[in-house]
Amino acid sequence: MTLKAGILLFDSVNELDFIGPFEVLANSDYLLRVPLFPGMEISPERLDVQLIARTVRPLTCEKGLSVCPTMAIADCDALDILVVPGGSGVDGVMADEETLQWIRAVANGCTWLTSVCNGVFILAAAGLTRGKKVTTHWAALDMLRKTRLTGPVLDGFQYVRDGNLVTSAGVSAGIDMALWIAGQVTSPERARLIQRTMQYDPAPPYAADV
């Protein structure tokens, strides 16, 4: 069985918002191809990960990285997992009714609908967060509350689940969220192997208590 995951891209998307979840989810299949853990039995689920945008033209991300989407939204009508990242380009997506309509359509069949950082504002603009507990980047919490397009906006969590909606806090929190999703669609053991493959064990050298 192959599950389909799509990560929405747009101009001025934050790089780590989408690269973090991509690295996690793409590593799920990588473990099946590369024998990093010889002799260890790995659950057989496949996960196809696509980078999806309005078109497949190259996009310029928030910090200047150029990236090529692998699929246009017109060519994708169903997903098991949708990841909506954030970045300074979020306002443009919120005003793009064609993309919002696509998000609403694929969200109907998603097992997991997710966002990273201020990507939750896109889901809110699509009408998919009403009455739902959510979170976002610490600097956008009050702004999200003022929209009145969600249920409770929670602080102090890396990610928040309400039904099949999973929203994460800022930037690197998307990695934690994606690891949890990977554990749900495959197994917690496989998610642990993904984490080990990435050598993801955060230990920042300087405290960020500002």
Rounded Cα distance, 110 and 103, in Å: 10
Q: How far apart are the first and last CA of the chain?
A: 47
Closest to 85 (Cα-Cα) out of 107, 58, 108, 53? 53
Give the number of other Cβ atoms within 10 Å of residue 200's Cβ: 16
Is 117 considered catalytic here? yes
Closest to 16 (Cα-Cα) out of 77, 61, 55, 79? 61
Closest to 71 (Cα-Cα) out of 58, 89, 91, 55? 55
Q: Which residue reads 């230990």 in tokens?
A: 203
| Strand positions, DSSP E, 119-189 | 159-162, 165-168
Region for residue 87 given its phi and psi (left: phi exceeds 0; alpha: psi -120 to 50; beta: otherwise): left
- Which of 61, 68, 76, 117 does the annotation list as catalytic? 117
Q: Which residues participate in catalysis according to the annotation?
A: 117
